[in-house]
Chains A and B, each alone.
Chain A
Amino acid sequence: MVTLTDVKQIEECVYEIPRSYRDDMRVPARVIADAAILEAASHDRGLEQLVNTACLPGITNFALAMPDIHQGYGPPIGGVLAMDEETGVISPGATGYDINCGVRLLASELSFGSVKPRIEALVDALFAGVPSGVGRGGALHFADRELDALLERGAQYVVELGYGLPDDLAHTEERGCLAGARADAVSHEAKKRGSGQCGTLGSGNHFIEIGRVAEIFDEATARVFGLFQGQLLVWIHSGSRGLGHQVCTDYVRGFQQPMREYGITVPDRELVCAPFASPEGQNYFAAMACAANYAWANRQVMAHLARTVFLDVLGADAHLRQVYDVTHNIVKRETYAVDGQPRTLIIHRKGATRCFPAGHADVPDAYRAAGHPVLVPGDMGTASYVLVGLPAALEKTFGSSCHGAGRVMSRAAASKQVQGKELQQRLRKQGVYVHGGSWEGLAEEAPEAYKDIDRVVRAMECAGVARRVAKAVPIGVIKG
């Protein structure tokens, strides 16, 4: 296992495990962290998993982890891998099963104070109005051809059906549709899992949270993003549901034999991969894009359902404007300067958020002068953040930031230490009303199972990658 003596600080809040640590490393492994975060990360296998990713063919410059790093399967959570487009690989296991798990932030024009007595009614109505929970289906069912169109067009398809506004697309990463999606690359089994789950939250760490802006750090950028002190916000955290899980399962399985034929060996079979330029690699990229589009459609429908609930409970003033929607688990083609030359790289983000500075062509028009919003949801008892990308992100992190607080405690340990019902009562005393689907599910997601999010986002700021814009605290949460 990697120990702290194997890690060297190379600049403020950037640490490196050199290539000499293990013979099979092709590049060094870097972590954005402060000393305490790094020390905590050395307690599980996250750093070793990061080293494993540094061994993949075509990996460029360094394998990276954000300060919310923790042990996953394959890469660590918080991992960012940049592969050369011509010589590098694409890995379904390094993208994960919940393809385009991500978060959407909606903002009202209401202040918390004006609706405080109605928060519990609002949370209960959201729980009733947005399908959630283990395996629960949704309101929308798609026939085969409709589902194919959804997979290839993402959020744009459901907006045309009346779920949301065209302006939502202008405030969504990739406008809610990743190019290159081909529905014929998605198996019948995956489509069957996806046919009735669009518009459902799911369970695990997925949630809808009502929050209030508790602190503004950067007034000018907050104004551009439309955020103000005391404002009522809604965070929606979910992904591609069973369809995405099946796409990953299919391609992790399907890549096992071709990887041998391509003569590729990996230190962990979950990092199974194929050359990006190969037919297998291209098919996975097309299927992954479909799953990503499904996830954007899913969050789009849930945003529509949440808006309906807000108007029903709070009245006509409770319109929710979309601030932004980002993905946490994805593969993208992006261009960066490598050795002074622009190069197209295949960026795998596994528990990381896109983070571009002001002026970048992929920042939506409305935000281009300010920079790309980075949405960082925290645990249900602490805080969430909105950050903005800075120029150093392009050279230090392949345009990436942290995606959350990151776990420090296993689900089993959290379930042993925390009783779901007691947690609900404790949070209620703190001013957070939680409506959950199961007590065990709630206990597994207890605030004590997560890192200190304040510290995580400060590490991003300390490395010069992103700047804090606003901090929100939870006041109501629904969990599946």
Chain B
Amino acid sequence: MSFFERVEHTADLAILVRGEDVPALFANAARALFQLMTEPPAAPERTREITLESVDRESLLVDWLNELIYLHEVEGETYAEFRITAFTPTALTAQVIGGATTRKLKTIKAATYHDLRITETAGGAEAHIVFDV
């Protein structure tokens, strides 16, 4: 089973993403985001550190993905590796490793709160996320 799949949505882009635990779910949600937006970077040589605080776990996921969308757009970078180095339900620190974007596939405007669900499952955790495209 792939770590994410697309879910039917009339106008935008919805995914179901999985991870062995919630931090892994966050990393996989980021991997899914970049698989949808771009081709992998030619040379993943740039490391950026991201620190975020949010009001709750769902907000933290939305803020994490939107921070990556922002960096991708303004820095012209694509990230291929996501290391969550510290995680609580309202804060995270992560290292993201990537390089210059080689080919863009799709513009994703933002991750939204609509229908956002993070659930613990027998296999770990999964989240339903809707992106505005």
Interface residues of A (CB under 8 A from B): 44, 46, 70-74, 77, 93, 96-98, 133-135, 189, 192-193, 202-204, 242, 245-246, 248-249, 252-253, 256-257, 260, 268-270, 272, 407-413, 438, 440-441
Count of A-B residue pairs with CB < 8 Å: 105
Name which residue of chain B comes closest to A437, CB basis: B104
A1 to chain B: closest CB distance in Å?
13
Are the C-beta atoms of A97 and B109 separated by less than 8 Å?
yes
Are the C-beta atoms of B107 and A74 separated by less than 8 Å?
no
Give the segment of B23-31, B41-49, B111-119 that binds chain A: B111-119
B18 to chain A: closest CB distance in Å?
19
Beyond A46-B10, A74-B112, A253-B66, 16 additional contacts (C-beta under 8 Å) are A72-B11, A73-B130, A77-B11, A96-B132, A97-B110, A203-B106, A203-B107, A246-B70, A248-B110, A249-B66, A256-B55, A270-B113, A272-B113, A407-B10, A411-B12, A411-B13
Are the C-beta atoms of B6 and A270 separated by less than 8 Å?
no
Chain B 38-66: CB-based contact to A (< 8 A → 1; otherwise 0): 00000000000000001100110011001
Complex CA distance for A253 and B70, rounded to whole angstroms? 14
Are the C-beta atoms of A256 and B59 separated by less than 8 Å?
yes
Complex CA distance for A270 and B12, rounded to whole angstroms? 14
Q: Which of B1-15 contact A (CB under 8 A)?
A: 6, 8-13
Name which residue of chain A comes closest to B133, CB basis: A204
B130: A residues at CB distance < 8 A: 73
Complex CA distance for A203 and B106, rounded to whole angstroms? 8
A190 to chain B: closest CB distance in Å?
9
Are the C-beta atoms of A268 and B114 separated by less than 8 Å?
yes
Query: Which residue of the partner chain, among B10, B106, B109, contacts A410 with CB atoms under 8 Å?
Result: B10
Taking residues whose C-beta sits less than 8 angstroms from the other chain, chain B's interface range is 20 to 34
* B74 close to chain A: CB less than 8 A: yes
Name which residue of chain A comes closest to B131, CB basis: A73
Complex CA distance for A411 and B116, rounded to whole angstroms? 20
Are the C-beta atoms of A270 and B63 separated by less than 8 Å?
no
Are the C-beta atoms of A192 and B59 separated by less than 8 Å?
no
Query: Which residue of the partner chain, among B54, B55, B70, contacts A189 with CB atoms under 8 Å?
Result: B70
A66 to chain B: closest CB distance in Å?
14
B116 to chain A: closest CB distance in Å?
7
Are the C-beta atoms of A70 and B114 separated by less than 8 Å?
no
Are the C-beta atoms of B8 and A410 separated by less than 8 Å?
yes
Complex CA distance for A415 and B10, rounded to whole angstroms? 12
**Could you jot down 17 A-B contacts, CB within 8 Å?**
A46-B10, A72-B114, A134-B104, A193-B74, A242-B73, A246-B70, A249-B70, A249-B110, A252-B110, A252-B112, A253-B54, A253-B63, A256-B55, A268-B113, A409-B10, A411-B11, A440-B105
